[in-house]
Copies of this chain bind each other. A is one copy, B any other.
Amino acid sequence: MSEKKVYRFDEGNAGMRDLLGGKGANLAEMSNAGLPVPPGFTITTEACNDFFVNEEVLSDELMEQVTQAIADLENRTGKKLGHPENPLLVSVRSGAKFSMPGMMDTILNLGLNDQTAAGLAEQTGNPRFAYDSYRRFIQMFGDVVLGIEHYKFEEIIMDVKEKRGVQLDPQLDADDWKKVIDLYKTLIKKETGQEFLQDPIEQLKQSIHAVFSSWNNTRAKIYRKMNHIPDDLGTAVNVQTMVFGNTGEESGTGVCFTRNPSTGEKKLYGEFLLNAQGEDVVAGIRTPQPIAELQDSMPDIYEQLVAICNQLELSYKDMQDIEFTIENRHLYILQTRSGKRTTQAAIRIAVNMAREGILTREEALMRIQPEQLDHMLHRRIDPDASLKTWAKGLPASPGAASGQIVFDADQAEALTKQGKKVVLVRPETTPEDIHGILAAQGILTSRGGMTSHAAVVARGMGKACVCGCEQLKIDLRNKTVTTEDITLREGDLLSIDGGTGQVFIGEVPMIDPELSPEFQELLAWADEKRKLSVRTNADNPSDARKARELGAEGIGLCRTEHMFMDPERVPIVQEMILAEHEDERKQALARLLPIQKEDFKGIFQAMDGCPVNIRLLDPPLHEFLPHLEELLVEITKLQVTGQEATPEYRQKENLMKKVRALHEFNPMLGHRGCRLGMVYPEIYRMQVEAIFKAAVECIEEGVRVEPEIMIPLVGHVQELKRMRVLVEEVAEEIMRQSQMAVSYKVGTMIEVPRAALTADQIAGKADFFSFGTNDLTQTTFGYSRDDAEGKFLHIYVEQGVLPHNPFISIDREGVGELVRIGVEKGRQVKPGLKTGICGEHGGEKASIQFCHEVGLDYVSCSPFRVPLARLAAAQAAILNK
């Protein structure tokens, strides 16, 4: 059966992204819209998948369709592949459904060989152009198809330039390029044992092969994983008639964005280079001119470009990233796609497009990936600090970063794993550096413009980036970066401001981010759409205030253990734990009471008018005592040195006894949560007393308090029943003493499977359920998070045993099923039962989507995740309409 595997551009349309890839679909759309697109055809993603099934062999059937498409192209262009006088030259580019810029391979100028190069020289009267094009082709083919390292070609050019005594490529003439070509051929012979391939159809076949293969190169795989792109989509291949920006000063090539991808400003943004091929711009080897300058040099072309940009943006309802080439004063559009952008820009563009009527508000909301909002909340350099700028480059991706200088990506990754912060400093970056960019706080390059690799990738990741900082001299061998007078070395501290392009020596003071009006507006729209309430996890007034600023509607989880871990309080807490009798314990607790009360007052004040959910003490008591191993070493040392009669030894021995008594094999499943309150009710009693005394004092000050007392780790209704009685007794006592009413709720965490399975019973005693899905994930899978992530979980995720890390995004089938059962059974008994989720899942998009679907009332997350949650909740509501 001969399926259609090859589509002429005019046979497709924008809706065929699955089959033709994003680039192919857009080329088709533009062709049909009458835009000046050089003709060509697309080999489908299905062909790519067949190729992998077929053990990386291109089928005869496919090659037949390709040959026919080439014949058709020859007809349309009047040129002929391999024709010595009028040769057809084509580009071969990858193009997957989702844009993966720079991740896969591209070959330009295909069709050149010794004969056609000579023919092209003659035909164009421009031998320099023809041989420059030919050497570029050999170079790309050598690199991509034959696997010869890039630098070996660059070395040859450098040698030739040296011998000619020139510095820049444009200074080389046709003969120089011919010399380069000869040397390239020698290199290829040496590396592969074969002459450079002269048959254009065979060149094409091998190039298609290489582009398909590049779908599975390492950097593409990493990129897909990072961006959650499935591995089985495959890439399409676009074969397009070449147009040349390097035929002379009437030619050029460029990239432009319909709006500013860094700020979102509605203004054409981009760069171009005259007398150059596209790769020169993107690769960042030469620093290009701003797009505005095109207006001066070629006003007609500029006008045409602006009109096309507007047309494309309206057509795609999104900011476009457009590649164009000018060949002898003719404009060609080589590609359009939705442009990568910073979060700041994404928000501004989405909000503005909604205001402009291009998008609806719901569409605008769906345009922002919730996790991007994180980037908006990055700290920035304090504008009031008096700082001395060391150097200045292009503001390629906003945000500020400080860290140690590193000069290569592997080192960046290694140091980051050790917990260090680094800034990656490179002359330019390539797709090989992607893991280093991911690891670094920020990226600084000495070459390349706003659309260079480093800039595009950094913006996509929300990393600070300064590009094209040409005053820096980077010496990779000696690991130094130098301006005229100052040299910094690897490990020295450096700061960059990606919003201004400034580079500073050392660390600089940072402040909290300022949120743009567009950001506020977008979230206000989100608030209108969402059904889920959004709360925050906070256990101190400053976090609580921050979260309210970011839109939190209450506290969903106030942990009380951090209060116990304050260094000033630890001695009292230890006294309480080491107490031999209940009386002693109560004395220590009495000293903690006023401190706890102040903790809660501060939080109630910060959350005036909002519910505050306070979880009673949860961790096992041994967490507050010295570590067993440390004590053991100290005791052993005292023993070996014969100090067993000293008071110090006796004191440590005593402490050790208690530490041993409290020691647990599996603390995660041990004596913690409400099991503490059941065995030592006096601890919970003190906490409840502190809460209600704080509430009463707040009410007296006019603060509106809504305490919710949360009993952790309930597994059996009897636990909640008894703890509820305890809370009610203390509450009533304080209310009686103060003659004041405090309205409060008592509920529980649902964080062990048994609680979810018996939620009908538990609901009878609970005013609310808060699903503690971190612990619930641990118990449902039988994974200790501390152990699993380092020992086997990363392997499970890498190997696809699990679709994702269930601690990051909720496991719907298992953990989610328990949440569903819990909600259902709970509401059977108590229809109005308030349900929420606290913990990390409450700030993760897919988990929030799940919470919406399962009908929870709220999610609670850390303060800086609140905007994300607001947006994700809105998107969930929109998607589930």
Contact = CB atoms under 8 A, between A and B. Distances in A.
A670 interface: yes
Interface stretch (A276-284, A587-595, A753-761): A753-761
Interface stretch (A214-222, A225-233, A725-733, A812-820): A812-820
Interface in A619-661: 628-629, 632-633, 636-637, 640-641
Interface in A734-767: 751-754, 757-758, 761
Contacts of A265: none
A782 interface: yes
Contacts of A800: 718
Given A802-B716, A802-B718, A678 B629 contact: no
B788 A669 contact: yes
Interface stretch (A168-176, A286-294, A773-781): A773-781
A752 B806 CA distance: 15
A54 interface: no
Contacts of A811: 754
A719 B665 CA distance: 26
B784 A666 contact: yes
A620 to B, nearest CB: 9
A668 B669 contact: yes
Given A753-B753, A754-B814, A670 B791 contact: yes
A637 B757 CA distance: 51
Interface string A600-636: 0000000000000000000000000000110011001
Number of copies of this chain in the oligomer? 2
Contact of A632 (B632, B666, B753, B792): B632
A675 B801 CA distance: 11
Interface in A768-825: 775, 778-784, 786-788, 791-792, 795-796, 800-802, 811, 813-815, 817-818
Contact of A666 (B669, B675, B796, B814): B669
A782 B753 CA distance: 8
Contacts of A716: 801-802, 814
Nearest to A666: B784
Interface in A674-705: 675, 678-679
Interface string A836-850: 000000000000000
Interface size class of A (residues with CB under 8 A): 35 or more
Contacts of A668: 665-666, 669, 782, 784
A716 B802 CA distance: 8
Contacts of A754: 780-782, 811, 813-815
Contacts of A671: 787-788, 791-792
Which of A669, A679, A780 counts the most chain B CB atoms within 10 A? A669
B775 A669 contact: no
A715 interface: yes
A355 interface: no
A681 to B, nearest CB: 11
Contact of A722 (B665, B779, B784, B801): B801
Contact of A796 (B669, B678, B781, B782): B678
Given A632-B632, A667-B665, A778-B669, A817 B640 contact: no
The majority secondary structure among interface residues of chain A is: helix
A757 B784 contact: no
B629 A715 contact: no
A713 interface: yes
A822 to B, nearest CB: 12
Contact of A669 (B664, B722, B782, B795): B782
A780 B757 CA distance: 9
Nearest to A713: B782
Contacts of A641: 640
A752 B778 contact: no
Contacts of A784: 664-670
B670 A788 contact: yes
Given A792-B675, A814-B758, A780 B801 contact: no
A255 to B, nearest CB: 43
Interface string A358-371: 00000000000000
A5 B786 CA distance: 63
A813 B786 CA distance: 30
Contacts of A783: 669, 715
A719 B801 CA distance: 7
Nearest to A721: B801
A763 to B, nearest CB: 14
A402 to B, nearest CB: 33
Given A666-B787, A675-B792, A787-B664, A782 B751 contact: yes
Contacts of A628: 629
Interface in A393-423: none
Given A632-B632, A636-B640, A669-B666, A779 B753 contact: yes
Given A632-B633, A665-B787, A718-B802, A752 B670 contact: no
A632 B666 CA distance: 20
Contact of A781 (B636, B679, B752): B752
Contacts of A678: 792, 795-796, 801
A644 to B, nearest CB: 14
Nearest to A665: B786
B752 A666 contact: no
A715 B779 CA distance: 11
A775 B669 CA distance: 12
Nearest to A813: B758
A787 B668 CA distance: 10
Contacts of A667: 665-666, 784, 787
A670 B780 contact: no
26 contacts: A629-B629, A632-B632, A632-B633, A636-B636, A636-B640, A640-B640, A664-B784, A665-B667, A668-B669, A669-B669, A669-B788, A670-B788, A671-B792, A679-B791, A713-B782, A716-B814, A718-B802, A719-B801, A753-B753, A754-B811, A754-B814, A757-B780, A757-B814, A758-B813, A779-B779, A779-B782
Given A668-B669, A753-B779, A753-B818, 16 more contacts: A632-B633, A640-B640, A664-B784, A666-B668, A668-B782, A669-B778, A669-B782, A669-B787, A679-B792, A715-B781, A722-B801, A752-B780, A754-B814, A757-B813, A757-B817, A779-B782
Considering the complex of A and B, which 5 residue pairs feature the smallest CB-CB distances, nearest first? Answer: A666-B784, A754-B814, A669-B784, A752-B782, A670-B787
